[in-house]
Amino acid sequence: MKTEQLIHFFKEEAIKANEQTFPIYVQSFTHLWTYKWGTLENIPEEIDDLITTRALELGLIHLKKAD
């Protein structure tokens, strides 16, 4: 699978995901990425941002306000 395809499929699934399925999609994506490239260090920033944004939208993570 090409990088562009993997990113495209993940974006589609992340947008459709709910709070139960999103972690599964992220785990699957990161496993495939790590298998293909050996590290998560080179995940595109757009994917990192998408994961963070969707996790916030779905209430899976919360930002702590600065004091």
Q: How confident is the model at residue 44 (pLDDT cuts 50, 70, 90)?
A: very high
Distances in whole angstroms, Cα of residue 21 to Cα of each of 38, 41, 58, 67: 25, 24, 11, 33
Q: What is the pLDDT of residues 3-37, one digit of tens each?
A: 899 999 999 999 999 999 999 999 999 999 999 99
DSSP label of 40: S
Q: What is residue 50's DSSP assignment?
A: H
CA distance 40 to 33: 7
Dihedral (C-alpha) 64, 29, 10, 50: value to the nearest 10 degrees? 20
Question: What are the start-end ranges of the E strands in 1-67?
Answer: none
Domain ranges of the chain: 3-57
pLDDT greater than 80 at residue 67 = no
